[in-house]
Amino acid sequence: MASANGTNAQAIIEAVREGRLDARIEVVLTNKEDAGVIERARRFGVPVEIIPSKGHRNRAEYDGLVVEALRKYDVDTIALAGWMRILSEVFVNAYQGRILNLHPALLPSFKGATAIADAYEHGVRVTGCSVHLVTPELDAGPVIIQAAVPVNGTVDELEAQIHRMEHLIFPQALQWYAEGRISVDGHKVILAPAKGEVKKIDYTQGCLVSPALEEKI
């Protein structure tokens, strides 16, 4: 599910096509009729559902339509790849424990839609991106993986670097989920060891990643 340009959706699609992510993408759903993700998905032959978010009585009514659309595709897992809407309990309850969200900051810091600009304006020296399991509370679910990005240059340069790391950590988190290696103890995500041999990469493109990215050997 994506609301804008769709570069993270493309990163997920490419990870599937290259055999790095054991998943099947059933549909890309967007709430914007002019979202860039539409063309990206269609370029790869992925079905697209466009459900405009304007004109509904409330968030729950809209989310009910989204859930109905997703059920047509027998979806079992949701990847929020730049979904710029707060989910209602209607949606979260329908896919409880099966929704992964990408957030452009090191949670629990800088929650919300303007996280990159907020971190930059706050003057932090390091920010980054996180993938977490979704709960009813905004940007508060258990964190699966994070990448720490130094704050250098302009806010646009920072945003570009965060996006580059997002394209690495989101497919990785989804792969761990697909392998059944993610469990939650309280608020902490426990990642089970890999079954086969993997190369671990905890530092790339000048950024620290934890847990380390994995490449099959």
pLDDT digit string, tens, across residues 86-104: 999 999 999 999 999 999 9
In the predicted model, what is the mean pLDDT of residues 42-52? Answer: 97
Q: Is the pLDDT of residue 65 over 90?
A: yes
Which homologous superfamily does the CATH classification assign to the domain defined by 1-96?
Formyl transferase, N-terminal domain (3.40.50.170)
pTM: 0.96
pLDDT digit string, tens, across residues 162-204: 999 999 999 999 999 999 999 999 999 999 999 999 999 999 9
Instruction: Give the C-alpha distances (Å, rounded to integers) separating 24 from 13, 60, 123, 158.
Output: 9, 28, 40, 32
Q: Is the pLDDT of residue 55 over 90?
A: no
Give the separation between CA 206 and CA 136, rounded to whole angstroms: 34
pLDDT digit string, tens, across residues 111-170: 999 999 999 999 999 999 999 999 999 999 999 999 999 999 999 999 999 999 999 999
Q: Is the pLDDT of residue 64 over 90?
A: yes
In the predicted model, what is the mean pLDDT of residues 48-64? Answer: 94
Cα four-point dihedral sign 35, 49, 6, 128? positive
Domain locations in the chain as residue ranges: 1-96, 103-217
Q: Grade residue 23 by pLDDT with cuts at 50, 70 and 90.
A: very high
Q: Which of 103, 132, 163, 167 is catalytic?
A: 103
Q: At what angle do helices 155-178 and 115-122 cross, to 10 degrees?
A: 130
In the residue annotation, 103 being an active-site residue is answered as yes
- Classify 103-217 by CATH class: alpha beta
Q: Is the pLDDT of residue 57 over 90?
A: no
Percent of the chain topping pLDDT 90: 98
